[in-house]
Structure 1
């Protein structure tokens, strides 16, 4: 027999016979009415779990990771406000069923069953995935990546305090609100969880407001791996800056009391707390998990004997709130409701086409995004001595700095954060003076943890800010790429566009730093970014383009709620000269603040029949190669893609009009590079002969050989000559 049916029959039999597990008394502030509401939510969650398995068996449902054994979370939901944002563990169905009853117009049973059935009428994901979540309930949807939601919960909690200091136009979190983040005991061991909790403690230790309640639901096992007894308490009870609470999650009264104490502490002190909730796991990890294969029968039968619903029934009867028949009536009523609604929704339509599925990859534009351009006098005051230098040619790093200054001056909801970006002004000086101009609350020096930086950005976006996080080097992104892939990029997809976390992620990257740092600081691979659906990737090659593109990137984030990755070629930050020493040809004056380069707009330099299609450092080197080729009578046009994702196909094809041959120049590696997509596009959509030159499939060395594996002006010129001379192509 399915263990869900075993637990179901055991509950009915033991309530009828009065065979309840022993436990503590029903003490605490939980009122009779709230106790009834919590118990009903627990019964709904239990029967939704059981119904999901029956739906799957009938081919009508697709989700069976249940919440049974974790029904104590209904008491936690009752102790909080429904306006407190909650980032939930995937076993928190009881939290959602209780909160659903607190918000008028929400039907927990229908909503969750439509999600189980992947109905396109599912009010959260529109049939894309089974996720706990609801816009009305302030529960952003979560994927199942282990612990990946903790960093953004830290960011959202920080955003509450920051919102009081500089209120964003689209703020949603209350000034005295708190954020809840729940997870399992196994997830607590993940580096993401450890980093996020450390970041919360690090902030609180410095008296930064951090109204965050962590809830660890400790059932003692992660799929098949047992958690050492006492490990969670030993790990988290003595952390500096983190207040520890413990409750028996099987006792709805105790859980409510301790959750009240914990949320009261967080709400009053604006410091984080850790609620350690003892629970049990029923049914195994998921419907496909046969726990009999790896656990002695005595273990899971012991958990089943401690069924939280049996404990709740005992407590309600002892307190005189219900008798056994009333307990059974509520359970039967919720079971019948789940069965009835499941039958009603069985035939509802599901997503069918690729277009249906992809409709929410890009979030809807934000309505009424106001523009508040500063006056000339305001700009002069903020820029100070820099203001007089704007008409003289400058390198890229300074023009990006000025673009950020103008944007932060215009939009008070822009907040920058990253390692060393404040007092130091960044490793390469790109953010110099920004903290002096706008304060430490808008230019935030973070701890050295990329997951926490991106989590801070995602969380701030949940409260209406437009974050501009910085990853110090492209290679360092790999420590945190799941925050982009599994969280930021998926949020609009899994919420059907109801939630979004726009940002402009600045990354100093790519190769060509002379002899510095090897592959840690010369990372010429963008493959990890290119295949993330929905994000925009920008890569400027000269200072004037960088300023204009940064303005478009902020517009995309602010008005269209997009996630934009702005890759800044480190080697071009200080570049002044192009063809010979002190010619100053790679510097430009600062473009007027209203000038920008639109998404998909490519740059074309020259009109020759030999087109060189490139980006970033490739444009700089190709421009040098083009000058040499011109001396040989070969006229070229250098096409700068500027935007790497989505690939600006229309702009590229238009720029190729009149060309006769195309050389693709890619500073990234041959495998997984932009050049692969460009060659495929040219093959499919153009008759022009084409070839490519890309970096070797190698890491970059330190020292004199730093450029040995990547294209150079010489190798580009050589490849161009060969392509132009090839009469057979």
Structure 2
């Protein structure tokens, strides 16, 4: 028999017979009306769970991971304020329902049923996913939250204190707010969760304000794998910098007591806390899951006998707040009301086209206060003697540093963070002097954890900042890539653009770095970035472009709320010469702070029509070397510098190559999964031009003299271009 139906019938029978589970008497702190209100929220959460299964059986619902057994989360919502941002575990329907009681004008049952039905009228996701979330309730949506939301919760909490000192334009959270994130006992073991706990402790240990409440809902099992009894308490009760609280999640009075105490500690001490909520899981993991296939029936039935709604009926009766007959009436009336609403909800429209589904991939623009650039006085104070050096050509790393300085002068909401970016000034000196210019609040030296760096940036963006995090090397991104894919990029998609993560992630990367580090410091794969929907990937090839593109990237983040990755070619940071030693052919002057390269605008070097060389980054530098040799051999080439790698500026590329006799794609990323795949497809599908590609081999990069052996070279470009041109003759 269906376990949901068994639990339902047991509740009806046991309440009618006054056969209620034993437990402690009700703790002090909840008024009778408040306690009854919590029970109503619990009943609505239970009714929604049961209705979601009925909707799925009828082909009208599409998600059945429910909250039954976790209804005690209603008491935690009551202990917090609606201004406290909450990142919820997927079993926390009762929390959202109870919070809706704190905010006027909500229709929470209707809204959540729209989400169950994947209706396009769902106010949070627009029918794209069944998620808990609400802009009105200060609950950003999470999807399958296996701890991936914990790093950004740390970031949001950190932003609250920083916003006191540097208020951003689009601030969401008041000074006295706290941040709550909830998760299961199994998720607490995930490396992402452990990194977030460690970062919170590391931060609090240094007395940095971090008003964050971790809530662990411990039902003792993760799908089918048991959590060892006592594991959560044993591992979290005595952690440095993290205050531990615990409660019985089956008891709304005890849960409210502990949650109030924990929230007061976090709010007034501005330090993180861990609330351990012991609960049960009813019905199994999801609709298709049969717990009796991997658990003894006696154990399943023991959890069912501990139904938190039965405990609530007992406690309310003992407190004189509600007798069992009244409780049973509330339960039945709630179930009937949900059934009536569900009948109407299933008739509401759903998404039908790709255009509809993709409409929220790109967040909406926001009207920012106009800025006129940094004042001459501010620039003189920040740059000092560097102002005079701006009249002379400089290397790329220095021009990026100056661009960052101007941007931080102009936009007070910009904050940079990463390993070694502050006091040291970065591994390659790109962020030198920035901490002395703007202070440690805006140039944050983080601990060595890429997930925490990205989580900090994502969280700060939730509270109105424009973060510019740095990942020290491209290969290091792979430790934390899910923070971009699973968190930052999905947030506008699953919230209809109501929540966004605008940022500019700087990454030092690509190959050709001589004699240093091998593949961990020379990574020529960008495939992991190019297939994230909505993400913009930019890559300059010279210092002037880098400064102008970086300004455009910040504009995209600040005004259009975009998620942008700015990939800086390490090998070109110090590059001075182009053709021969001392020619200074790859150095440029610093462009005026008002100059930008627009998103999608490609670069072009030369006007030759024999062959167009389409490339980017180090490929542009090598192609410029090859261009001179080709000219000496009678081949007139032009170079099309992509600049924007994702999404590709397709029409700009086509316009730039249309009058050429052939096209050579030079791609320093790998042959399999590299950029050339998309470029060759574009040329083949949209033109009749002869074309070829020159890509890096499918290999990691070696250290030492063979550092460039697997990648395109200037001589290889010359040969490939000549072969292509001669083939046309």
TM-score by length of 1: 0.99
Within 2, Cα distance between the matches of 1:81 and 1:157?
A: 15
Give the Cα separation in 2 of the matches to 1:28 and 1:643: 61
Note if contact 1:399-1:546 (Cα within 8 Å) is conserved in structure 2.
yes
CA drift of 1:153 comes to 0.2
In structure 2, distance between residues paired with 1:372 and 1:325: 68
Counterpart in the other structure of 2:646: 645
Deviation at 1:372, TM superposition (A): 4.5
Corresponding residue number in structure 2 for 1:131: 131
Distance 1:531 1:230, change over 3 A: same
The verdict on how the C-alpha distance between 1:50 and 1:407 changes in structure 2, with shifts beyond 3 A counting, is same
| Structure 2 equivalent of residue 607 of structure 1 | 607
The alpha-carbon deviation at position 252 of structure 1 amounts to 0.3
CA distance in 1, matches of 2:713, 2:589: 27
Match of 1:627 in 2: 628
Between the aligned partners of 1:331 and 1:389, the Cα distance in structure 2 is 75
Indicate the residue corresponding to 2:444 in structure 1.
444
Residue 247 (str. 1) matches residue 247 (str. 2): yes
**1:156 maps to which residue?**
156
The residue correspondences of 1:187-202 to structure 2 (distance < 5 A) are: 187-202=187-202
Pairs within 5 Å for 1:397-416: 397-416=397-416
Q: How does 1:480-491 map to 2 (within 5 A)?
A: 480-491=480-491
Contact 2:89 2:145 in 1 (8 A): no
**In 2, Cα distance between the equivalents of 1:420 and 1:404?**
16
Partner residue, 1:280: 280
For 1:692, the equivalent position in structure 2 comes to 693
| 1:519 aligned partner | 519
Three-state SS of the structure 2 residue aligned to 1:102 is: coil
Residue 339 of structure 2 corresponds to 339
Matched with 1:710 is 711
Q: What is the Cα deviation at residue 412 of structure 1? A: 0.2
Residue 271 in structure 1 maps to residue 264 in structure 2: no
1:207-260 C-alpha deviation (Å, 9 max, x unpaired):
110000000000000000000011101111111000000100001000000000
Specify the alignment match of 1:665 in structure 2: 666
Q: How does 1:427-576 map to 2 (within 5 A)?
A: 427-576=427-576
Q: What's the counterpart of residue 391 of structure 1? A: 391
Q: Output the CA distance in 2 between the equivalents of 1:285 and 1:706.
A: 50
Q: Deviations over 1:354-398 (max 9, x none)?
A: 000000000000123432422112111111111111110000000
Please name the residue that 2:422 is paired with.
422
Q: Which structure 1 residue ranges, 4+ long, deviate > 4 Å from structure 2?
A: none
Q: Secondary structure at the match of 2:385?
A: helix
Deviation sequence 1:10-51 (CA, Å, 0-9, x none): 001000000000111111201111101111100000110000
- Are residues 498 and 214 of structure 1, via their aligned partners in 2, closer, same or farther at CA, if it must alter by over 3 Å? same
The alpha carbon displacement at 1:727 in A equals 2.6
SS in 1 for 2:195: helix
Does 1:20 pair with 2:36? no
Alpha-carbon distance in structure 2 between the residues aligned to 1:489 and 1:655: 31
- Unaligned runs of at least 5 residues, structure 2: none
User: In the alignment, is the contact (CA less than 8 A) between 2:62 and 2:117 conserved in 1?
Assistant: yes
* TM-score for both structures, normalised by structure 2: 0.99
**C-alpha distance in 2 between matches for 1:440 and 1:490:** 30
- Deviation of residue 292 (structure 1)? 1.4
Number of positions where the alignment pairs a residue of Structure 1 with one of Structure 2: 728
Question: What do residues 556-611 of structure 1 show as CA deviations (whole Å, max 9, x unaligned)?
Answer: 00000000000000000000000000100100000000000000000011111110
**CA RMSD across the alignment:** 0.7
In structure 2, what is the Cα distance between the partners aligned to 1:141 and 1:613?
41
Aligned ranges 1:31-42 → 2 under 5 Å: 31-42=31-42
Distance in 2 between residues matched to 1:302 and 1:637, nearest whole Å: 75
Kept in 2, the 8 Å contact 1:369–1:559? The answer is no
Preserved contact between residue 351 and residue 357 of structure 1 (Cα < 8 Å): yes
Matches within 5 A, 1:69-218: 69-218=69-218
| Secondary structure of 1:706 counterpart | coil
Q: How far apart are the structure 2 equivalents of 1:486 and 1:281?
A: 26
Cα drift, residue 333 of structure 1: 1.4
Q: Quote the Cα distance in structure 2 between the aligned partners of 1:148 and 1:686.
A: 43
Shift of 1:66: 0.3
Deviates more, 1:323-332 or 1:178-187: 323-332
Unaligned runs of 5+ in 1: none
Equivalent residues in 2 for 1:300-319, closer than 5 Å: 300-319=300-319
The answer (yes or no) to whether the contact 2:169–2:413 under 8 Å persists in 1 is: yes
- Equivalent-residue separation in structure 2 for 1:534 and 1:437 (angstroms): 33
Aligned mates of 1:78, 1:333 — CA distance in 2: 23
Distance in 1 between the 2:263 and 2:650 partners?
A: 52
CA–CA distance in structure 1, aligned partners of residues 581 and 642 of structure 2: 27
Q: Is the 8 A contact 1:266 1:272 kept in 2?
A: yes
Deviations 1:154-175 (A, max 9, x none): 0000000000010000001010
1:60 aligns with 2:41: no
In 2, the alpha carbon distance for the partners of 1:266 and 1:428 equals 39
Distance in 2 between residues matched to 1:479 and 1:368, nearest whole Å:
34
- Report the Cα distance in structure 2 between the residues aligned to 1:322 and 1:37, rounded to whole angstroms: 11
Q: Distance in 2 between matches of 1:347 and 1:426?
A: 57
Secondary structure of residue in 1 paired with 2:101: helix
**CA contact under 8 A between 2:90 and 2:145: conserved in structure 1?**
no
Per the TM alignment, residue 657 of structure 1 is displaced from its structure 2 partner at its CA by 2.6
Which residue matches 1:616? 617
Task: State the alpha-carbon separation in 1 of the partners of residues 659 and 27 from structure 2.
Answer: 83
Secondary structure at 1:86's aligned position in 2?
A: strand
- 3-state DSSP of counterpart to 1:667: strand
Given that 1:84 and 1:177 are in contact with CA atoms closer than 8 Å, whether structure 2 keeps it comes out as yes
Query: 2:726 matched to which residue of 1?
Result: 725
CA drift at 1:137:
0.4
SS in 2 for 1:637: strand
- Matched-pair contact (CA < 8 Å) for 1:600–1:651: yes
Q: Is the 8 A contact 1:372 1:411 kept in 2?
A: no
CA contact (8 A) 1:671 1:697 kept: yes
Between the aligned partners of 1:650 and 1:234, the Cα distance in structure 2 is 59
